[in-house]
């Protein structure tokens, strides 16, 4: 599997797969196959894919550790960039289809509706992550500061869950939200266990230095 993940075609293949949801939604809008309320379908569809890509991005490290497929890590950055791509599409769909691109109304609407405020905050937090997703940014910031900045993804995924929860609260339908919440709980819980849990008993011990024999 590592050989397959290191193949030059792996990243182009992931790029193409990550564009399929966008192509599906775009085709649906052009062909008028998104149902009775295409605007809601576009807003909802792009939002769903934000959460899915966030979960996929957070799943890379656990999957690498569980499976030993170390080459998975080279795909994480692309998944993160596509998460931002879909969150921008989600916000633009809201701004255009729900608010008619009236930026004055949008600015007034954001603080009025908690779920819009939380979603906008997640977008703002995600922007510096996308802006520093290339090698030069890592060198400029330094690895330590870059890693600290990108840990804000944990806050972003929780804000995304809260945003979705408040959206579904109006219809009292939390079934789909519960699935995302369970996945995020596992992914974040694993990180907490790895950081604060008991150390593995079978962790390799450093080899003892051979004692020097006397003459």
Q: Has residue 202 got a pLDDT over 50?
A: no
- Residues 49 and 39: their CA atoms lie apart, in Å, by 16
The mean pLDDT of the chain is 89
Residue 84, both tokens: 């931002």
Mean pLDDT of 39-51: 95
With cut-offs at 50, 70 and 90, classify the pLDDT of residue 206.
very low
Q: Has residue 197 got a pLDDT over 90?
A: no
Mean pLDDT of 37-65: 94
Lowest mean per-residue pLDDT among 41-45, 152-156, 157-161, 202-206: 202-206
With cut-offs at 50, 70 and 90, classify the pLDDT of residue 199.
low
pLDDT at 23: 97
With cut-offs at 50, 70 and 90, classify the pLDDT of residue 168.
confident
Q: Has residue 198 got a pLDDT over 90?
A: no
Cβ proximity of 1 and 69 under 8 Å: yes
**Global pTM value:** 0.87
Q: How many helices (H) and strands (E) does the chain have?
A: 10, 0
- CA distances to 74, 109, 131, 172, 180 from 78, rounded to whole Å, are 8, 32, 13, 35, 21
Mean pLDDT of 138-160: 92
- Residues 71 and 14: their CA atoms lie apart, in Å, by 14
Q: Has residue 14 got a pLDDT over 60?
A: yes
């Amino acid at each position: 599997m590592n050989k397959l993940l290191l193949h030059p075609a792996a990243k182009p293949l992931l790029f193409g797969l990550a564009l399929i949801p966008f192509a599906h939604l775009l085709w649906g809008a052009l062909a008028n196959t998104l149902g009775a309320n295409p605007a809601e379908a576009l807003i909802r569809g792009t939002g769903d894919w934000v959460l899915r890509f966030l979960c996929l991005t957070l799943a890379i490290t656990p999957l690498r550790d569980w499976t030993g497929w170390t080459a998975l890590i080279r795909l994480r950055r692309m998944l993160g960039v596509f998460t931002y791509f879909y969150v921008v599409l989600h916000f633009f769909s809201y701004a255009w289809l729900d608010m008619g691109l009236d930026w004055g109304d949008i600015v007034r609407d954001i603080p009025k509706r908690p779920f819009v405020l939380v979603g906008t905050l997640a977008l703002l937090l995600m922007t510096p992550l996308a802006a520093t997703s290339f090698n030069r940014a890592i060198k400029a910031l330094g690895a330590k500061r870059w890693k600290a900045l990108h840990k804000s993804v944990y806050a972003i995924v929780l804000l995304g869950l809260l945003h979705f929860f408040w959206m579904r609260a109006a219809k009292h339908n939390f079934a789909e939200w519960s699935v995302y919440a369970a996945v995020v709980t596992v992914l974040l819980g694993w990180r907490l266990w790895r950081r604060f849990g008991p150390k593995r008993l079978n962790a390799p011990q450093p080899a003892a230095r051979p004692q020097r024999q006397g003459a």
